Amino acid sequence: MPQTRRGLLIILSSPSGAGKSTLSRHLREWDPDISFSVSATTRAPRDGEVNGQDYHFLTEDDFKRQVAEGEMLEHAHVFGNFYGSPKGPVKAAIDAGRDVLFDIDWQGAQQIRNSDLGRHTLSIFILPPSIAELHRRLVSRAQDSDEVIAKRMQKSWDEISHWDGYDFVLVNDDLEATDAQLKTIVSATRLRRSQQPGLTDHVRRLQAEFEESK
């Protein structure tokens, strides 16, 4: 039977501090062929950012045109700028059997699931073991001011409240265990019937062989 498969659109979502970035990094170390989706944005490049590598930098007119023509899998307007996920590179990757990883919120996840590539999505939400632990992790990172941490905590419940819109939900109370669960989910979903384009032809060959053997 052919071993080729279609790639997955792997969506990871969580509130800040739940461990999503670490789990994403571990997933890509486990399989380097998994690539991050490069977002498009209308904001200006920052120092050191490379077009096509960090972001696809577009004018607002170009961005809106691509949205109107259905070339964005998902998009949002954030703090005066547009952000989105171009469909073309993602479709090319999954048609070639390569998985694409998305680090997006529940709204973006919903848009992708409702797109014409939705049948190839695998969406996973990462929950913290408790709100107190979520706050502790944000503080221990020492990356944000108290004001920013307070805003992140305030936003966290809105994100958590959409947990039931995902295929799988993992409680990240033990990073090693959650990491193993995530890899198991990806491995199993790669075998989903919709991800194996050669199955229909294989069954037809089996049928023909069966008919010939009568």
Query: Tens digit of pLDDT for each residue in 140-160?
Result: 877 778 888 888 888 888 899
Instruction: For residue 110, give the amino acid letter.
Output: Q
- Identify the structural domains of the chain with CATH numbers, from first to last: 9-204 (3.40.50.300)
pLDDT-based confidence at residue 1 (cuts at 50, 70, 90): very low
How far lies 66's CA from each of 75, 103, 115, 116, 204, in Å?
10, 21, 14, 16, 40
Query: Considering the entire predicted model, what is its pTM?
Result: 0.85
Model confidence at 130, pLDDT cuts 50, 70, 90, reads very high
> In this structure, are residues 121 and 31 in contact, taking their beta carbons and an 8 Å threshold?
no
In the block, tokens 């709100």 appear at: 131
Sequence-ordered list of residues with C-beta below 8 angstroms from that of 205, at least 6 positions apart, any chain: none
127 - beta bridge partners? 171
Surface-to-core class of residue 31, CB atoms within 10 Å of its CB (0-12 exposed, 13-18 middle, 19+ buried): middle
pLDDT at 2 over 60: no
- Residue pair 46/53 in contact (Cβ under 8 Å)? The answer is no
| Best CA proximity match to 12, nearest among 118, 22, 144 | 22
Neighbours of 130 (CB within 10 A): 11
CA distance 205 to 207: 5
Determine if residue 19 is left, alpha or beta; phi over 0 gives left, psi from -120 to 50 gives alpha, anything else beta: left
